[in-house]
A and B are shown apart, each in its own frame.
Chain A
């Protein structure tokens, strides 16, 4: 995608943080529905700009199918709750017992959060090119970034390959009537995936992948390992102190901060050894800054609500809580920011639309 068709990857990352935080922090169906609709508007505005968008829509449909499957599963197997809709004989295994409204609502909201997350990542994957996203990976995680980029690109590509294999088999008269008929489809898929992986590895080797990393001395490596070890230890100790000794929260917080600082130093020192050059930088436009600001505002605002007013986000249908969800206008207003990037996107011009000069 060109710069005119979408925003800067960093802006999309901020938008991703603003969208993922609500989906992970609450099961309130009112907030989740606003997130889903806002993300869907952005997804609709992005359209089919990315060849892998069709693959991600298949994932979203699969997620919806799982959600519809989760609702009856939780409703029939969880017999907790005080509002009983009907009863099944207790002698029936697993599903026997009272079927409650609370269990139904719990299953409904649980799957709702799942499909919302799927839609968020589908939209993000459509909006951002994997190559450009990979270039934002910190230096100390460059290997992990490459692996993640390959994995993110591999799955939709595999789905596209599956479609083409199936089309080719159908042309040959192959019909899928059962599980046994899937074998002629799975084997070519595996072979194709392995071939693609080998090609990618050879191309990376030919381009000198990994050669630009400065080798650390044994002393430096020891310092990094000790710093990471001490940082992780302090993090664990701080979490334990905050959890089990509520009267020593200050000490626990200091330990957490010290652990994070040690780990950050270790990561920074490892990262600066990975030399990278950027000969083609993505320019920042005014709209990119606006989207970045919207994303950061949404993420920070929601984080502030999580810390200061967590009761706004709490939803639990079982007793003693009410099955009626609460809606706070301020929290809802923050979620509306997720839809604005869709409205700010510029429509691309196709090549055939360019008028030929007289």
Chain B
């Protein structure tokens, strides 16, 4: 090891001298609190003689446009996104994974690109009189004064995709737009209201005999992420299920405005040898009671009464509020009368409760867990991960300005405009990445583990060293002992003397 020290030391010294000279000459030191990768130049963000227009299409009819001013002669496409306040998330390779919370995590940048449907953020430049698909990424594109750049979330492949809508540069960056003088000036933007997705979820057959199967089919509009019982699925599809017992299936469709939840209950009738017990069917009247099962706690007509959803802890996975109490008697007799149709394909309005008829199950309905959307007032230190360990891209990071939501209703219509007092995308991300006191118990456990290993290491090394010292003592005693011949002579002399 010593042989490497001299040349390595020389190299390090040379590199240090060169680097120090260069840094001292031209580098500005920025504090560690800088966020968003935005430099703190002498001019403020959004000021400067050069301007570029940005059009972002989120794929559900929602379009945002920004006019960003910059002092440099040119900036990269990535800088343009950062300065626009859209909070771009990029992969280590430089691909744009998400904009304003819509998209994919950086470690799986093309998570919405399974065969054959591929959705991703496509990059366009305005050239001449039309959008031109970009052959370079955001880092490789140079933006100059008068550039019109576009990003579009939609289906496509790696040579073409859905271009953003045509908007003139002058409509985004008017010629007479004054430069803002506030220290924290934000680029001009158009406000677009984002709606939560519309969901249609239904089962082919609501009642099955034991061992039978049925197909679940769903259709969503405006959704970025669709989960069926926690597993990601496409926005439009179907799935064959064969439930062994009465089971509830949950479909969650989410976008930057929030999420919509739909349920389908598939009832599986028990075999004929089961103990006959009346099956209670939920009726529209609240006074309906059953001799066996408690009355349902929610009506399906008029004003649906939903148990108040528990306030979700940041980062926790909340169980869905149970609609019915668990039945006290397990088996159920075959239903003689035709059971009313269970949940049909009822499209959910953003503020309406599911209008499905839920039948009291003869068996306890397993509790379903769903990722609770987090209120915007208490941003989390890190993004919550889904069942497969990946970060769910959209619903956990609702758009700025959205109201607090419950587990069922979700957030209200979101506004992309920064409401007074609300955090911008960059500030919210900064808060989420700051140190969270919830990590302290884990760090205390880590310290205990280190202490245990330190004690164990001391024991192991002490035992080895103690063994060596005892071996050294044995060798010393063996060296002091006289040879065998002399010992016999001593014994003979001792015997003669006695």
Would you call B429 an interface residue if the criterion is a C-beta within 8 Å of the partner chain's C-beta atoms? Answer: yes
Q: In the complex, which of the residues B35, B232, B452, B461 has the most CB atoms of chain A within 10 Å of its own CB atom?
A: B452
B197 interface residue per 8 A CB criterion: no
Known: A243-B114, A310-B389. A324 touches B239 (CB 8 A): no
A325-358 with Cβ < 8 A to chain B:
326-329, 332-333, 335-336, 339, 342-343, 347, 350, 352-353, 355-356, 358
Q: Is the CB of B478 within 8 A of A355?
A: yes
A6 interface residue (CB < 8 Å to B): no
The answer on a CB contact under 8 Å between B429 and A343 is: no
In the docked arrangement, what's the CA distance between A244 and B112, Å?
10
Among B30, B391, B449, point to the contact of A336 (Cβ < 8 A).
B449
15 intermolecular pairs with C-beta atoms under 8 Å apart: A34-B450, A41-B453, A41-B456, A82-B34, A83-B433, A85-B32, A86-B28, A87-B28, A88-B23, A92-B22, A318-B106, A319-B89, A319-B429, A322-B436, A353-B474
Task: Given A245-B114, A327-B443, decide whether A320 and B432 contact each other with a Cβ distance below 8 A.
Answer: yes
Q: Which residues of A contact B273 (CB under 8 A)?
A: none
Taking A327-B439, A347-B467 as known contacts, 13 extra A-B pairs with beta carbons closer than 8 A to each other, sorted by chain A number, are A30-B446, A40-B457, A41-B460, A84-B32, A87-B30, A88-B23, A98-B37, A316-B106, A319-B89, A321-B433, A352-B475, A355-B474, A355-B478
Pairwise interchain contact B389-A314, C-beta atoms closer than 8 A: yes
Contacts A41-B456, A247-B233, A356-B478; is A88 near B27 (CB within 8 Å)? yes
Tell me, in angstroms, the Cα distance from A213 to B98 when the chains sit together.
Answer: 58
Establish whether residues B22 and A89, one from each chain, have CB atoms under 8 Å apart when the complex forms: yes
- Contact mask for chain B residues 456-498; partner A; CB cutoff 8 A; 1 contact, 0 none: 1101110110010001001100100000100100000000000
For A135, list chain B residues within 8 Å (CB): none
- Tell whether A249 is near chain B: CB-to-CB under 8 Å: yes
Query: Which of A87, A244, A246, A311 is within 8 Å of B231, CB to CB?
Result: A246
Instruction: Report the interface size class on chain A.
Output: 35 or more
Find the B residue at minimum CB distance from A78.
Answer: B92
The answer to whether the Cβ of B39 comes within 8 Å of any Cβ in the partner chain is yes
Within 8 A of B (CB), among A186-208: none
- Judging by beta carbons under 8 Å apart, are A350 and B446 in contact? no
Residues in B neighbouring A314, C-beta threshold 8 A: 385, 389
Provide the bound-state CA to CA distance between A45 and B433, in Å.
Answer: 41
Residues of A within 8 A of B36 (CB): 82
A38 to B471, CA, bound (A): 27
B336 at the interface (CB under 8 A from A): no
The majority secondary structure among interface residues of chain B is mixed
Question: In the assembly, what is the distance between CA of A316 and CA of B475, in Å?
Answer: 56
Q: How large is the interface on B (under 10, 10 to 19, 20 to 34, 35 or more residues)?
A: 35 or more
B237 at the binding interface (Cβ < 8 Å)? yes
B158 within 8 A of A: no
Instruction: Give chain A nearest CB distance to B25 CB in angstroms.
Output: 9
Question: Contacts A246-B114, A246-B232, A320-B397; is A82 near B389 (CB within 8 Å)?
Answer: no
User: Could you tell me if A320 and B433 are in contact, using CB atoms closer than 8 angstroms?
Assistant: yes
Is A301 interfacial (CB 8 A cutoff)? no
Q: How far is the CB of B176 from chain A (nearest CB, A)?
A: 32
User: Are A44 and B233 within 8 A (Cβ)?
Assistant: no
Rounded to whole angstroms, the CA-CA distance of A40 and B8 in the bound complex is: 26
Residues in B with CB closer than 8 Å to A243 are 114
* Cα distance A61–B471 in the bound complex, in angstroms: 31
The interface residues of chain A lying within 8 Å CB-to-CB of B298 are none
Chain A proximity of B315: nearest CB distance (Å): 10
Query: Which residues in A have their C-beta under 8 angstroms from that of B461?
Result: 44
Whether A61 pairs with B1 at a CB distance below 8 angstroms is yes
| Contact, CB under 8 Å: A249 / B433 | no
Least Cβ–Cβ distance between A58 and chain B, in angstroms: 9
List residues of chain B with CB within 8 A of the CB of A54: none
Chain B residues, CB < 8 A from A247:
233-234, 237-239
